[in-house]
Chain A
């Protein structure tokens, strides 16, 4: 059985996550060895994942931490657990 390109595309995520069946993995690897387009798709997808995982993509705004902790500080005034049972439930 020889995989066509469009079938290889369906396995790109599984390939990157390392969770393809052994038989499929072998076929995909065989295909990638000779297909420039599919290996470029694989590389570009992997590279985009590496880039988007970089902390610099979504940087904290200036003063974020200070504003957050100031708000928490205000919340902490007079707060005690149990006494706040009537408060926010959260939906976890």
Chain B
């Protein structure tokens, strides 16, 4: 795979940036612009906050690049900076009410939506703004502890172990939260997506 080539190039780029070629940082972060932004948006629920948090995360990464340890992947390091940035903003704007809601749902039980037939994926669905908004709303409405693990695992493709590590929780806790997050989304989105998607536009998913 070219993952190791990418890693090596990144390591070289980082060494060069630290040696004074700071402008290479522009190139270094290019592949991550979208995922840092989407992570911030899914955490913060509004575009202006998300852009600001994403910018701040990249600035922090730049300023602290000399503290980056090469044994972690640069992307993982960047993710944890972004996560911290988003979390500290959430702490500032969060009300006591949402705090206690998050705590309450930790022990809760989630049942999925009981659909009888869904064999297809509406792959053209994302061309519709309406569907994108449904997805965005559903993700950003998840309580924080579920939103975080869902974003890391299912949107940023970290492994469950990496997600647990980034969140500072046990692997078992990460699995439980991830499962609940997925079922919460299924419960909410499956009926909504069925309703807004005309059947004839659905494509088989294999």
Contact = CB atoms under 8 A, between A and B. Distances in A.
B136 interface: yes
Interface of B: 18, 20, 22-23, 25-26, 33-34, 37-38, 41-42, 47, 51, 54-55, 58-67, 77, 80-81, 84, 111-123, 125-127, 131-132, 135-136, 139, 150, 154-155, 157, 160, 175, 178-179, 182-183, 185-186, 189-190, 193, 205
Contacts of B25: 72, 76
Most buried by B among A51, A54, A67: A51
B23 A76 contact: yes
Contacts of B160: 17, 19
Contact of A88 (B60, B116, B119, B155): B60
A53 B190 CA distance: 16
Interface in A31-81: 36-37, 40-41, 43-45, 47-61, 64-65, 67-69, 71-72, 75-76, 79-81
Interface of A: 6, 9-10, 12-14, 16-17, 19, 36-37, 40-41, 43-45, 47-61, 64-65, 67-69, 71-72, 75-76, 79-82, 84, 87-92
Most buried by A among B65, B125, B131, B190: B190
Given A40-B116, A60-B37, A75 B63 contact: yes
A58 B37 CA distance: 8
A61 B59 CA distance: 19
Contacts of A10: 179
A90 B79 CA distance: 13
Nearest to B64: A90
A92 B115 CA distance: 43
Given A68-B54, A76-B25, A13 B178 contact: yes
Given A41-B186, A47-B120, 9 more contacts: A40-B119, A41-B190, A45-B185, A47-B121, A48-B185, A57-B132, A64-B51, A68-B58, A81-B18
Given A13-B178, A40-B116, A68-B33, A51 B63 contact: no
B20 A80 contact: yes
Most buried by B among A44, A59, A71, A84: A44
B47 A61 contact: yes
Contacts of B136: 57-58
27 contacts: A40-B116, A41-B113, A43-B119, A44-B112, A44-B118, A45-B112, A45-B190, A48-B135, A48-B190, A49-B154, A51-B135, A52-B139, A52-B150, A52-B154, A53-B154, A53-B157, A55-B38, A57-B136, A58-B38, A60-B37, A65-B33, A67-B55, A69-B26, A72-B62, A75-B62, A76-B25, A87-B63
